[in-house]
Each structure stands twice: as structure tokens, then as C-alpha cells.
Amino acid sequence: MTVENQSQEIHKEHTFSSKWFWILGIIIGLLIASNIIIYLWFNSPSRSAIVSVNGEIIRKDEFIEAVMDQGGKNVLDWLIESKLIAQKAKEEGISISDEEIESRISQLRDTFGSQEKFTSFLSLYGLTEESLKKQLVPRLLAEKIMMKDRTITDKELLDYFNKNKSSFDEKEQVKVRHILVKTLEEAQQIEEELKKGTDFGKLAQERSIDTATNTQGGDLGWVARGVLDPALEKVVFSLNAGERTSIIKTSFGYEIAEVLDKKSAKSVTFEEVKDKVRERYIEDIVQNEYSNWIQELKSSADIVYYVDIKK
């Protein structure tokens, strides 16, 4: 792992456990090329060229081929799928309200623990909440269409819960903040200031090299086992709320951490998490059946390509 920052791994943990993992994975993958296709193609001053470099022309077909080689085919497929989904939704009389979109964004935001962490995660991939909302609409419409005539029984949900119970149980977690620096000398200086009563959050803002958390006073949020560097994890999970570690050498540098709160592992009952079970069960259905469903829409549609597309 690189030393960019430990908090990015925590962000990943949130995302991979999120019910929106499959949607975010698609969206982030498509964003690689989404801002360069079409605009130059249709706004070129020439029908065959898009730019001249010292008198040498770069043709549209060269540009399209280069874009396709860098993920543009996925973007085009996504645009086609989005159009087909919108057409099907109109045919079925199905729409997504602003409230429904905001509810889904809120669920996703909650997995990060704070608005700041959610925004930081989005910025890593060139996204904003508004652009994410636009990207989510086709998937939310697809979910609504696919589940429209489907009845889910309590027996189905209970069976799903029993097969996946460990994923619903609440795992042991700590709410922790940290200060990360490059050298032992820096860490020793910070430790001395903490002993003198200097505010931990203030020092994190001023001294920590973890740019994803230092503006929040080093707050890493709620963290389960298996996310932190092993050397740090071993110590913080042995502490009580309010206790602080000494200097710990990790793969990222030198760290000092403070436990703000703790949650013990808890086994849950079906009734306690029934709503979550339903949400995840629907997610699994849509994720597993989406490919065949969208392929059926494509096979019955009249799709005409006006350029050569690499297969």
C-alpha cells in the first residue's frame, strides 16, 4: 500500500460494504472517459477533423478510436442503456422523484459517517452530489421497473437473512481519530504537546499528513476490524473510550490515535433488521438479473451505429 493516506482504505471499506457498491463501481468506471466523448465530435469546425497540430490533422475517426481504446465503449454502452431504461420507464409510467433520489443519496452518505467524508470520497473520482444523482437515475429506474410486478414474501426475506446472517450482525467497532506524520521526531514532538494539554483535533489539523482527515481533526469515524494498519488496530481495539495510544510505527508513518467511542459486537434478530434485509435482497436481485434484463431491451431495440465501434 502507498502512503497516500490510511483514510482512503477506510473509505473503501465503507463503500464495499455499502448496498450501493455495484452502482458506484459502474459510475466510477464510466467517468474515466465520460467528459471527452461527443463534445468535440459534434462541435468540430470540420466534418472530418477535430484539430490541426502544426498543419497536421487529427481526424474524428482517430479521436473516436483513441477514446474507445480508453474506455469510451463502456460510456457509449452506458448511454445506450440509459436511453433504453428511460424509454421503458416512460412506457411503464414509472418515474423517480427528487425525494427518492435524495433518500438513496442519504443512505450512501450515512455509510461514510459524515458529509465531509462523503464529499471527500466523491472528489477523489471527480464527482459531486449533483453529478452522482444524475448518474443514479437510470439505475434507480431500472430497479423500479424490474421489481414492479415482483412480490417479496417474508419467507424469502427470512431465508435470505438466515443465509447471510453474519453480514447483518453488528461488528465490533471503534470511533477513532489520529495524527499521522512522517518521522519519529515529529511524532515525539506532538506527543509532548498532547501531554501538555494541547487539543488533539487542533494538532491533527496543523500537523497530520493525512489530507483526507486532517481538516476534520483527524477523525476516521467508526472503524471495524480489518481496516486499520494491523499495528494500529491491535492497540486501538484494546483501549477504552477516551484513551490514547503512544507513538505507533505503521506502514504509513508514525501515528498517534485516540479512541472516542466503542461499539461491541452484537448478534441481531430478523425483526431488528428486516428493512435492511429487504433492501439488500432487492439489491441482489437487481444486480444478478440486470445484465439479462438490459440485454433483452437491447435485443428488441432498433440501435443504429453511425460510427465503427470496436467489439
Return the minimum-mean-pLDDT range out of 67-76, 112-121, 122-131, 300-309. Answer: 112-121
Statement to judge: residues 174 and 202 lie in one domain: yes
The better pLDDT of the pair 181, 305 is held by: 181
Q: Is residue 232 part of a domain?
A: yes
As a whole number of angstroms, the distance between CA 202 and CA 218 comes to 9
Residue type, 225: R
Which DSSP category does 171 fall into?
P
pLDDT tens figures, 126-141: 788 888 888 889 999 9
With 80 as the cut, is the pLDDT of residue 238 above it?
yes
Statement to judge: residues 118 and 40 lie in one domain: yes
Beta-bridge partner residues of 258: 177, 244
Statement to judge: residues 106 and 219 lie in one domain: no
pTM over 0.75: no
As a whole number of angstroms, the distance between CA 277 and CA 167 comes to 10
Share of the chain above pLDDT 90, in %: 49
Q: Is residue 150 part of a domain?
A: yes
As a whole number of angstroms, the distance between CA 58 and CA 257 comes to 55
As a whole number of angstroms, the distance between CA 52 and CA 249 comes to 54
As a whole number of angstroms, the distance between CA 113 and CA 122 comes to 14
pLDDT reported for residue 23? 61
**Residue 147: all three cell numbers together:** 421489481
Q: Is residue 306 part of a domain?
A: no
Statement to judge: residues 138 and 275 lie in one domain: yes
Statement to judge: residues 111 and 250 lie in one domain: no
pLDDT reported for residue 47? 57
Other CB atoms within 10 Å distance of the CB of residue 258: 23
Instruction: Write down the residue that cell numbers 502512503 correspond to.
Output: 3
Statement to judge: residues 57 and 97 lie in one domain: yes
Statement to judge: residues 158 and 78 lie in one domain: yes
The CATH number covering residue 200 comes to: 3.10.50.40
Q: Is residue 238 part of a domain?
A: yes
pLDDT, average across residues 230-256: 94
pLDDT, average across residues 63-87: 83
Q: Residue 170 in contact with residue 266, Cβ under 8 Å?
A: yes
Q: Is residue 309 part of a domain?
A: no
pLDDT, average across residues 255-278: 94
Q: Residue 140 in contact with residue 43, Cβ under 8 Å?
A: no
Statement to judge: residues 39 and 127 lie in one domain: yes
Domain range enclosing 242: 170-263
pLDDT, average across residues 68-91: 87
> What is the total count of domains within the chain?
2
pLDDT reported for residue 182? 94
Statement to judge: residues 123 and 213 lie in one domain: no
As a whole number of angstroms, the distance between CA 183 and CA 180 comes to 9
Q: Is residue 311 part of a domain?
A: no
Other CB atoms within 10 Å distance of the CB of residue 310: 9
